Amino acid sequence: MDKSEKLAFSLSGILLAVFLGAIVYASVAKDIDVPTCITDMEPFAKDTLFQTGPDTYELQMVARMWAFQPSTVRLPVGSTVDLYVTSEDIIHGFKIDRKNVNLMAIPGAINYMRVTFNEPGEYLYACHEFCGAAHHTMAGRFVIEEGLDEPETEEEI
C-alpha cells in the first residue's frame, strides 16, 4: 500500500470517528431527539389538543392544502407537547422556528416529536416542503403565555 493511500485511509477513519462522536454527543449530552414515525396508530382526520398531565399536552395536527389545523395553539409557559403530525392530501413539511422541530406530514403516516416551551412568546411554524400554489400561506403559531389556565386552539378565518 502506498504512503498516500495509508494517509487517506487513516484520515477517513479519523473523520468517521469524529462524526460518530458528534452524533453520540448530540444525542446524549444535548438530549437531541430524532423524529419518530408512528406505525401502530391510524392516521387522524381532525385536529385535537388535550392535556395528558400537569403541563403535558398531546396535539394531533393535520396538514391540508394549504393550511395547518389548528392554525393557532395557546399554551402556558413550561408546556411539554407530544406533537403528532399527519397530512390529509399530499406531503407537507412542518418546522417550528426557534425549536429543534422539523417533521414531514405524509398522507397515511403519523410523525411524532416532543417539544417543550419554556419561554413565553410566539413560535411560528410553517410548511417547508413546496406543496402547490398557495404554499406560502401554510403557516401558524404557538402562543406561549404566562398565567394561561386552559390550553386552546383557534382557526384563522
Please give the pLDDT value at position 37. 84
Q: How far is CA 114 from CA 66, 85, 99, in A?
A: 24, 11, 11
- The whole-model pTM stands at 0.79
From the CB of residue 140, how many other CB atoms can be counted at a distance below 10 Å? Answer: 23
What pLDDT tens digit does each residue of the chain (157 aa) get?
Answer: 899 999 999 999 999 999 999 988 988 887 777 778 887 888 888 899 999 999 999 999 999 998 998 999 999 999 999 999 999 999 999 999 999 899 999 998 999 999 999 999 999 999 999 999 999 999 999 999 998 877 878 775 4
Output the pLDDT for position 148.
Answer: 80
pLDDT number for residue 156? 54
Distance CA 81, CA 142 (A): 11
pLDDT of residue 31: 72
